[in-house]
């Protein structure tokens, strides 16, 4: 019986299992640390999921809607999932991970479902132009995009974004949009030619959530009580219920290798510290870009620094002249509602993308203390009725890189120590802040379109995230036409020159990371790798 091992339970791992499970006789073993939400909170979610929103208990809602926690004063706060930090809990996967300077340290998840427990649910394919820098093209990916979009919930609508980012599949329409979103979309339709002349395209969000079942409650960003937002854990729950996989939690992979035609994994049992040895015909490594990088560097015994490409993140508040009704009095879905793509070319390659979110409690919590005082209520009301927040990304070739330096352990079954450093771009300034040189042009284009969209960038309040904070990173072992030991590249099946039975399936194999949404391509590429691997003999 052919056999495969999947390391990890995030989106890449889920997509690989989806492909492998199509082979009826394939024995599939999946393992990871498997941290989950505590049982008491799960009971609260179960109660809420069975009731109408109007019937929810206030204490239950308070418990599962704790806001993100500020970990670094000059960066975005760390999201919570139903009030819990379980996606970020260290179960050994972060031991020995060090950061220099302004770099995010919570870069490897121990959670069942990985960081998809706290993602923004945004799904668009990469543009065809992006794949011209890869050893395969969009046509090789399209069927896998389609398969993934058929596997996960999908909401979105046809609009101008399709020119570069095809609307693959049959999405459900989005729930009713917030008043500010409706105004911006109407302004864009009214002044489309003028806005497009600035290089800006506006379109509705595309989201991995079950829109038809949505009862708007304003809790999307802290955890949907109806569990309508896709998590890779949902896929694994299905695979486990069907008996299609052998899932084992409480294990941390520390080495991979190949002996003849057999792939080997050594994993530490977290409860006892004991090392277990697993073998299979093939191993698919989906620990997330930095988790995979660390595991592979240790397995290769390599202390040569590698660089990850990152689509760097920024937060840009926008103000509007025309107010909307007080958003605090409305219950809406609070995921991203519309996208702004700012293009510097005519093929959808050199673009920045900004996702716009309607009001949620985090807006209010981020206001200066004096604006939260009752005496400032008049000013605060008017501010919130005009405020929109955009979460933006630059492409990796216009962003700092993250250098990963490994120090090998003397023990054979220990992961190496790694140090993460942000480096490698010429600085420009926006309102005195050091930023990559592409960002001033992005701001300039937004300002030119502002009179038509009634969205004015508030650059003094712009926040530039530190290294590895976007979670859109990879490319430590990029796909290449030919594997190169010196540059540590992988072939189209995610294999390094040293092994032909070990496949890297997450963002670690991306040749570049565009500014557009990340996870759908992670899943589609993993699905492609697993499908093509099954076609190999032996």
For 127-170, give the DSSP string. Answer: PTTGGGGSSS-HHHHHHHHHHHHHHS--B---SGGGGTS---S-
Q: Which residue has the tokens 């819990």?
A: 84
Domain of 95, CATH number, reads 3.50.50.60
Q: Which residue has the tokens 């202390």?
A: 303
What pLDDT is attached to residue 536?
Answer: 86
Tally of domains within the chain? 1
Count Cα neighbours of 134 within 13 Å in the Cβ-side half-sphere.
Answer: 28
What pLDDT is attached to residue 350?
Answer: 93
What pLDDT is attached to residue 433?
Answer: 55
What pLDDT is attached to residue 392?
Answer: 96
Q: Give the domain range for residue 250.
A: 3-534
What pLDDT is attached to residue 214?
Answer: 95
Contact of 404 with 418, CB cutoff 8 Å: yes
Task: Name residues whose C-beta falls within 8 Å of residue 32's C-beta, 6 or more positions apart in sequence.
Answer: 7, 8, 9, 13, 110, 112, 249, 251, 252
What pLDDT is attached to residue 366?
Answer: 78
> Strands, E, within 25-140: which ranges?
27-32, 97-100
Alpha-helical (H) ranges within 204-349 are 232-241, 289-300
What pLDDT is attached to residue 362?
Answer: 78
Residue 402 to residue 473: CA distance in whole angstroms: 9
Residue 497 to residue 330: CA distance in whole angstroms: 56
What pLDDT is attached to residue 78?
Answer: 87
Each residue's pLDDT, cut to its tens digit, for the chain (538 residues) gives 899 999 999 999 999 999 999 999 999 999 999 999 999 999 999 999 999 999 999 999 999 998 777 766 566 788 999 999 999 999 999 999 999 988 999 999 999 999 999 999 999 999 999 998 899 999 999 999 999 999 999 999 999 999 999 999 899 999 999 999 999 999 999 999 999 999 999 999 999 999 999 999 999 999 999 999 999 999 999 999 999 999 999 999 999 999 999 999 999 999 999 999 999 999 999 999 999 999 999 999 988 999 999 999 999 999 999 999 988 888 889 999 999 999 988 899 999 999 999 988 877 777 778 878 888 788 888 888 999 999 999 999 999 999 999 999 878 789 999 999 998 655 555 555 566 788 999 999 999 999 999 999 999 989 888 899 999 999 999 999 876 666 689 999 999 999 999 999 999 999 999 999 999 999 999 999 999 999 986 5
What pLDDT is attached to residue 346?
Answer: 86
């Amino acid at each position: 019986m052919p056999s495969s091992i999947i390391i990890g339970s995030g989106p890449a791992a889920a997509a690989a299992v989806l492909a492998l499970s199509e082979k009826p006789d394939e024995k599939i073993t999946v393992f990871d640390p498997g941290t989950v939400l505590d049982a008491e909170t799960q009971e609260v979610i179960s109660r809420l999921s069975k009731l109408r929103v109007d019937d929810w208990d206030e204490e239950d809602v308070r418990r599962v809607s704790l806001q993100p926690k500020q970990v670094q004063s000059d960066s975005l706060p760390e999201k919570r999932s139903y009030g819990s930090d379980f996606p970020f809990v260290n179960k050994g996967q972060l031991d020995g991970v060090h950061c220099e300077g302004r770099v995010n340290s919570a870069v490897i998840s121990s959670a069942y479902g990985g960081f998809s427990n706290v993602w923004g649910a945004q799904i668009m394919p990469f543009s065809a132009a992006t794949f011209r820098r890869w050893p395969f093209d969009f046509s090789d990916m399209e069927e896998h995009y389609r398969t993934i979009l058929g596997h996960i919930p999908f909401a979105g609508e046809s609009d101008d974004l399709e020119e570069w980012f095809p609307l693959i599949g049959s999405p459900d329409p989005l729930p009713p949009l917030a008043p500010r979103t409706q105004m911006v979309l109407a302004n864009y339709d009214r002044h489309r030619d003028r806005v497009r002349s600035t290089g800006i395209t506006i379109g509705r969000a595309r989201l991995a959530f079950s829109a038809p079942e949505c009862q708007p409650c304003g809790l999307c960003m802290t955890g949907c009580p109806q569990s309508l937002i896709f998590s890779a854990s949902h896929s694994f729950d299905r695979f486990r219920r069907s008996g299609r996989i052998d899932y084992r939690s409480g294990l941390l992979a520390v080495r991979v290798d190949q002996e003849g035609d057999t792939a080997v994994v050594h994993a530490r049992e977290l409860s006892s510290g004991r090392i277990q040895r697993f073998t299979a015909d093939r191993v698919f490594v989906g620990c997330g870009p930095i988790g995979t990088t660390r595991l592979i560097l240790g397995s290769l015994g390599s202390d040569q620094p590698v660089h990850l490409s990152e689509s760097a993140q920024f937060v840009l508040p926008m103000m509007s002249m025309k107010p909307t009704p007080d958003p605090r009095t409305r219950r809406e879905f609070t995921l991203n509602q519309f996208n702004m793509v700012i293009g510097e070319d005519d093929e959808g390659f050199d673009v920045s993308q900004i996702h716009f979110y309607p009001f949620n409690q985090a807006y209010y919590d981020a206001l200066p203390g004096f604006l939260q005082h009752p005496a400032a209520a008049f000013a605060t009301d008017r501010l919130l009725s005009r405020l929109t927040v955009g979460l933006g990304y630059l492409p990796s070739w216009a962003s700092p890189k993250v250098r990963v330096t490994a120090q090998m352990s003397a023990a054979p079954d220990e992961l190496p120590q790694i140090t993460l450093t942000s480096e490698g771009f010429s600085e420009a300034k926006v309102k005195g802040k050091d930023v990559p040189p592409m960002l001033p042009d992005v701001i300039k284009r937004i300002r030119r379109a502002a009179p038509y969209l009634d969205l004015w960038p508030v650059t003094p309040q712009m926040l530039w995230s530190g290294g590895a904070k976007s979670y859109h990173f990879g490319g430590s072992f990029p796909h290449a036409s030919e594997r190169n030991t010196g540059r540590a590249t992988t072939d189209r099946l995610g294999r390094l020159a040293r092994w032909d039975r070990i496949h890297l399936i997450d963002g670690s194999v991306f040749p570049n990371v565009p500014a557009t949404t990340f996870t759908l391509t992670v899943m589609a590429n993993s699905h492609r790798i697993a499908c093509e691997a099954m076609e190999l003999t032996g």
